[in-house]
Amino acid sequence: MQKISGGVTVAAGFQAGGIACGIKKNGQPDLALVYSEAPAVAAGIFTTNVVQAAPVVFSKQQLRNDTAQAVILNSGNANACVPDGTATAEAMARAAADFLGIPSDAVLVASTGVIGVSLPMTKIQQTLAGRPEFISAEGGRAAAQAIMTTDTFPKEAAVEFELDGRTVHIGGMAKGSGMIHPNMATMLGVVTTDIAIDAAMLKRALRRAGDLSFNRVTVDGDTSTNDCLLILANGKAGNASLETDGPEYQLFLEGLITVCQDLARQMARDGEGATKLVEIKVTGAATESEAVTIAKSIATSNLVKTALFGEDANWGRILAAAGYSGVTFEPGRVRIYLGDLLVCENGCGLVFDEARAKRVLEQSELLITVNLGAGSAEASVWTCDLSYDYVKINGSYRT
Amino acid sequence: MQKISGGVTVAAGFQAGGIACGIKKNGQPDLALVYSEAPAVAAGIFTTNVVQAAPVVFSKQQLRNDTAQAVILNSGNANACVPDGTATAEAMARAAADFLGIPSDAVLVASTGVIGVSLPMTKIQQTLAGRPEFISAEGGRAAAQAIMTTDTFPKEAAVEFELDGRTVHIGGMAKGSGMIHPNMATMLGVVTTDIAIDAAMLKRALRRAGDLSFNRVTVDGDTSTNDCLLILANGKAGNASLETDGPEYQLFLEGLITVCQDLARQMARDGEGATKLVEIKVTGAATESEAVTIAKSIATSNLVKTALFGEDANWGRILAAAGYSGVTFEPGRVRIYLGDLLVCENGCGLVFDEARAKRVLEQSELLITVNLGAGSAEASVWTCDLSYDYVKINGSYRT
């Protein structure tokens, strides 16, 4: 298993690109297209918010036959909470299908941007009708750039590995990085792979990889109306199709988790106003789900996140946030580490080297470990600190 | 039912006061005492955090006999997550008992302040051993001041009403206003009343009033290790003791709710860095508990709270926060009002007068109503905006 550079076009038989069609007022690229030269097995994970944007509802329907050949994505408008949302999502799929010369039921749609304002569909139609040559086997990065909103850098990740003598590639792109002024709806991810795999196994792998990556990142705890993670597998690697669990499937799963976690960590690092990427690791838990629940409670605590911004060795807030997670545990058995510095033992504070704690907290990437002393399960959640800039980005009328 | 000025000493037979004993380094008052001249029926509500400070555990035990005659409270140190916590809480009760000449099993204890640092108990013992004359029937405000931490003003509320020919008083004090740098543990409330009431009925009333007030306020969503609300009822009003539900009990409950909601609203208004007091009212819900769940989800959303700070008519964030509350509802039936301005109908945005929205959002006190169109239940939650100063107060090493 080897990490390689690139994103959605590292896998054989995929093209992608990004272009500006005027949805973003600043003229930045706002339309991305990901295309597989052959029909691909496809799957998706979508927001659990009961308020779901039209592209989410539409793409779920498109995936009923477990196949797709392209994904059209736009930034700058979420196509959410508008009366013409469904019609717009359908029109986007049709525009992409006409441009690519494929049936429109093979196109998935994703949008990110303003909620409650109709998407200027004609700008997408007119742009694609001009037949611009903007997708290619080298266009992955341009696609990753075209889906950015308040992201400060494009997010790509990729791996390659050998499977029965063939080289398999998995590459992805994602965008964060919070829900954004005036009111945006946010996380999009697309992963492509040339592996040959059965639809049921692909779904299973995406679910697990999503749970271990995008579902374990929090910037502000807000789940948007548009969050989605899509995957296309076109079989160009020529391996014997994966149809059951086993070493080959586990290898693919490992690769998919690697790509998704890399993207998820980039999202946390690029969280709105973030100055630090922080991994909250809960160990010694009775079950993995309890570890996740506690880690998320800590990772979403404003008091923990402001203390991290303040580089304050504030284990009391960490312990308190674990305590109100809803999970029952014995506080008297808890140990808390900042990096490798033990600051709390048996639920009580220790006298520790403040200067050493400061050095840990000054890092741009840091690990906080909470050991519950209850069992052997563990889980990590990635988050970022809560800074003045988060307030500035999200409350900007007053800045 | 009439609101009157004052706090824990408006009821007959209560004395209180505040004094500085040196726990706070700035020399501000940090010790409060509330005393009933006669033994009182008592009850309490305590934090649901599994990490509970020693005074919480101790006071719960003291309340097993449903009686108390005094409450000793300190600010500046939470007596939480320290090995000598229980001994310190016991010593505080003993010091207050000796000072007042009552048995120490009649004293409740509450602390708020730094977590994980042992409370300098000797300072309290030495101060009280000096027999200072600091409690009186006019000392309610001094007591309210002595429990302040980052609160910018003391919080008191009181009512009086007639009950079978007698005048009954209910008065209270509370402090907020978030968990505070370096790591504090927070909400304390004490209510006193001269009504004669049975212990079971007092517990029932306190539970309901707490649910409708302190349990519906959020500053940062963090539940501390020390939160508690205590009530003492000494019967000095001379009414026939309330022992069953009925008009008299309902009148008392109304009064208690009035006092607790007044204090709770003051806490939200004085939330760390708050510039606005915001009531999130969810109407048209299937059940009250669903209305509360959705209102709390909106009231704790950083994106909603920063938008409120930004005075941004950001109904999309409000709808999205309702959507991930865990409650199922039909987005297509939702209406959202800023003040009395309808900004979202049938789950879609409306064209509205931005200037009028701005005027609503500029108010220091504002109401946001979300009508789910599902039923007739409703609930309100009080919150505040998320400002630069919240980050400054809680991340101050970097400021």
| pLDDT, one tens digit for every residue, chain B (399 residues) | 999 999 999 999 999 999 999 999 999 999 999 999 999 999 999 988 888 899 999 999 999 999 999 999 999 999 999 999 999 999 999 999 999 999 999 999 999 988 889 999 999 999 999 999 999 999 999 999 999 988 889 999 999 999 989 999 999 999 986 543 334 457 899 999 999 999 999 999 999 999 898 888 876 666 778 889 999 999 999 999 999 999 999 999 999 999 999 998 898 888 777 888 899 999 999 999 999 999 999 998 888 888 888 888 889 889 989 998 889 999 999 999 999 999 999 999 898 898 899 999 999 999 999 999 999 999 999 888 888 777 777 776 433
Active site residue B186: yes
Q: Does B314 touch chain A (CB under 8 A)?
A: yes
Residue B283 and residue B323: Cα distance in Å, rounded? 15
pLDDT for A135 equals 98
Contacts of B294 (CB under 8 A, 6+ apart): B282, B285, B322, B325, B327, B329, B370, B372
Would the CB atoms of B396 and A348 count as touching at under 8 Å?
Answer: no
Q: What is the dihedral of CA A88, A90, A95, A101, to 10 degrees?
A: 170
CB-CB neighbors (< 8 A) of B388 in chain A: 388, 391-392
Q: Do A81 and B347 touch (CB under 8 A)?
A: yes
Which chain A residues are within 8 Å of B49, Cβ to Cβ? 320, 323-324
Query: Would you state the pLDDT for residue A221?
Result: 60
Amino acid occupying residue A105 = D
Residue of B nearest to A385 (CA): B395
Q: Which residue has the tokens 């800074």?
A: A387
B390: closest chain A residue by CA: A306
* Amino acid in the structure at residue B92: M
**Closest among B259, B277, B271, B280 to B216, alpha carbons compared:** B280
The verdict on a CB contact (< 8 Å) between B48 and A324 is yes
Closest approach of chain A CAs to the CA of B185, in angstroms?
9
For A315, nearest residue in chain B (alpha carbons)? B183
Tell me where in chain B the CATH 3.10.20.340 domain(s) lie. 277-394
Chain A contact for B181, CB < 8 A?
yes
User: How many residue pairs from chains A and B have C-beta atoms closer than 8 A?
Assistant: 225
Give the pLDDT score at A179.
47
> What does the pLDDT look like over A280-301, one tens digit per residue?
999 999 999 999 999 999 998 8
- Residues A26-72 have pLDDT tens digits of 999 999 999 999 999 999 999 888 888 999 999 999 999 999 999 99
- Helix segments in chain B, DSSP class H: 54-62, 85-100, 121-129, 140-146, 199-211, 247-269, 288-299, 302-309, 315-323, 354-361, 388-394
Residue A320 and residue B225 in contact, taking contact as beta carbons nearer than 8 Å: yes
Contact yes or no for B278/B398 (Cβ under 8 A): no
Would strands A348-349 and A341-345 be described as parallel, antiparallel, or unpaired? antiparallel
Q: Which token pair is A229?
A: 């993670």
Chain A environment of B186 (Cβ under 8 Å): none
User: Does the pLDDT at position A185 exceed 60?
Assistant: no
Cα A158 off chain centre by:
14
Of A51, A307, A388, the CB nearest to B320: A51
CA gap A228, A226 in Å, rounded: 6
Residue A184 is predicted with a pLDDT of 43
Dihedral sign, Cα of residue A91, residue A92, residue A98, residue A101: negative
ipTM above 0.85, yes or no: no
DSSP line for B160-178: EEEETTEEEEEEEEEE---
> In terms of Cα–Cα distance, which of B331, B385, B338, B327 is closest to B360?
B338
Are the C-beta atoms of residues A228 and A110 closer than 8 Å to each other?
yes
Interface list for B 20-79 with A (CB within 8 A): 48-52
Q: How far is CA A235 from CA A100, A193, A369, in A?
A: 20, 8, 41
Q: Find tokens 């329907």 and name the residue.
A: A61
Q: Tell if the CB–CB gap between A303 and B81 is shorter than 8 Å.
A: no
Select from A117, A294, A303 the residue whose CB has the most chain B CBs within 10 Å, as the one to mutate to test that interface.
Answer: A303
Q: Tell me: domain A277-394, CATH 3.40.190.10, correct?
A: no
Report the 10 Å Cβ neighbour count for A17: 24
A394 a known binding residue?
Answer: yes
Residue with tokens 């008191």: B156
Residues 274-303 of chain A whose Cβ lies under 8 A from any Cβ of chain B? 301-303
First to last CA, chain A: 47
**Count of alpha carbons within 13 Å of A249, Cβ hemisphere only?**
17
Q: How far apart (Å, rounded) are the C-alpha atoms in residues B17 and B33?
A: 6
- Residues of chain B positioned with their CB less than 8 A from the CB of A324: 48-50, 222-223
Question: pLDDT value at position B388?
Answer: 78
Residues of A in contact with B182 (CB under 8 A): 312, 314, 316
Could A182 and B348 be called an inter-chain contact, meaning their C-beta atoms sit closer than 8 Å? no
Cα Rg of chain A (Å, integer) = 22
- Amino acid B183: pLDDT: 40
A223 and chain B in contact, CB less than 8 A: yes
Cβ separation of A398 and B319 shorter than 8 Å? no
Residue B293 — φ and ψ, nearest 5°?
A: -60, -45
CB contact under 8 A, B319 and A51: yes
Q: Do A307 and B178 touch (CB under 8 A)?
A: no
Asked whether residue A334 carries a pLDDT value surpassing 90, the answer given is yes
List where CATH 3.60.70.12 sits in chain A: 2-267
- Pick from B300, B388, B392, B396 the residue to mutate for testing the A interface (most A CBs within 10 Å): B388
- Contacts of residue B115 in chain A, CB cutoff 8 Å? 316, 319-320, 349
Mapped onto helix, strand or coil, the DSSP state of residue B103 is coil
What CATH number has the domain spanning A2-267?
3.60.70.12
**Tokens 């630090």 -> residue:** A276
Residue B370's DSSP bridge partners are B282, B336
- The single residue of B186, B192, B193, B225 carrying the catalytic annotation is B186
